[in-house]
Amino acid sequence: LKTLEEPSKDTLLILVSEYSKNLLPTILSRCQIINFQPLPQKEIEKLLLEKGVESEKAKEISLISLGRPGRAIDFMDSQKLDDFKKNIKEAAALARSDFASRFQRAKEISQKDNLKEILATWLFYFRNLLLEKCSECSTLSVEHYVNVLKKIQETNSLISNTNVSARLALEILMLEL
């Protein structure tokens, strides 16, 4: 707070937060808030083409990057893209599996270093399912997917901002899938 109130000469502080609601009001009152919007898919695709990515792969990456150029560049690495696709398949399989399988997988995932990445991929998968259901006008399944998306976001927030047991948080999430 002292640094924000009385910065030294020629100081520029950049505070980046995914969850600005968790910041103290005294901090927020001393900040200029700038919201970053996702880039259009065509701009991401153009960027990738300029970097030498083949057309089909550029189109695929621009779709799954959700307007984030840094994420698109990460997906230029074939391993990252393969991991993403694997996480998508896993989300689809989990949604169809029984509770015992889901809890076993929650135990395994809770010990991984890339838990936030896995949850972000699940969010992408279920968001796309929700958009499909909206186009089909199936109110019951739309409500289900909205609840799943909320639960994934809540789980991600808990794991990121508290000392909650990742395994327990994931097991609660598995009940919603």
Both tokens assigned to 79: 């391993």
Nearby residues of 8 by Cβ (< 8 Å), 6 or more positions away: none
- Which pLDDT value is given to residue 124? 87
CA distances, 160 to each of 47, 76, 110 (Å): 31, 26, 13
Q: If 0-12 CB within 10 Å is exposed, 13-18 middle and 19+ buried, where does residue 96 land?
A: exposed
State the pTM of this model. Answer: 0.64
Neighbours of 105 (CB within 10 A): 17
Higher pLDDT, 176 or 74: 74
- What is the rounded CA–CA span in Å between residue 144 and residue 10? 51
Tokens, residue 70:
């840094």
Q: Identify the pLDDT of residue 17.
A: 84
CB atoms within 10 A of CB 23: 12
Measured distance CA(157)–CA(120) in Å, rounded: 11
CA dist 84 and 118 (Å) reads 8
Q: What's the pLDDT tens digit per position in 62-95?
A: 988 888 899 899 999 888 889 888 988 988 898 8
CB 92 within 8 A of CB 125: yes
Q: How confident is the model at residue 113 (pLDDT cuts 50, 70, 90)?
A: confident
Q: Tell me, what amino acid is at 142? A: V
Q: How confident is the model at residue 42 (pLDDT cuts 50, 70, 90)?
A: very high
pLDDT band of residue 40 (cuts 50, 70, 90) is very high
| Residue 53, CB-side half-sphere exposure with 13 Å CA sphere | 22
